[in-house]
Amino acid sequence: MKIITLLIFICAVFILYGADNEPDSTYTIQGRVFFNKNITVTVTCLTKIEFEEELPAKYFFVKELTDLDRERGYVDYVISDIPEGKYLIFGFQDKNENDKLDRILFVPKEPWHIYGLPRPTKGKPDFDKLSIYIDKDIPDLEMQLQNGF
């Protein structure tokens, strides 16, 4: 009986202290977004469900433009605390500040870009083809926001 109690105690200690000592497995992406309009810039890191069901992104960056940003024509962004996984990096300028890309039918009305998407393009972007796997910090994801496809 003492051996079983001792084993249970050792396992409990290992579980309690082992969980606290696990390394943090979140990552940071950063880059630069070039724009043409003087409107707030948003960059999102979307999961497949968020992209396909047009849900709000859990991981995002929003920047109201300063005079310096407007003069340079770009903003630098950082999104942190992203768990390992597949994500689509999507940037846009939110003209009416409703936190989503507005469309007429399926054509975006606001400047936008998806990292890795060749422009011009046809049809709805495919998450599986354009997503990137984040399992480390990524320092140089650049995008050029444009209207249309």
What whole-number distance in Å separates Cα of residue 100 and Cα of residue 145? 15
The verdict on whether omega for the bond into residue 120 sits within 30 degrees of 0, i.e. cis, is: yes
Tell me what pLDDT residue 149 has: 57
Per-residue pLDDT reduced to its tens digit, 103-113:
887 778 899 99
pLDDT less than 50: residues of the chain: 4-7, 9-17, 19-23
The domain that contains 133 carries what CATH number?
2.60.40
Question: 3-class DSSP state for residue 146?
Answer: strand
Q: Please tell me the predicted confidence (pLDDT) of residue 148.
A: 67
CA distance 120 to 49: 25
In a domain, 11, yes or no: no
Q: Is the residue at 109 inside a domain?
A: yes
Domain count, the chain: 1
* Side-chain-facing half-sphere of 11: CA atoms under 13 Å: 6
27, 138 Cβ separation under 8 angstroms: yes
**Is residue 46 in some structural domain?**
yes
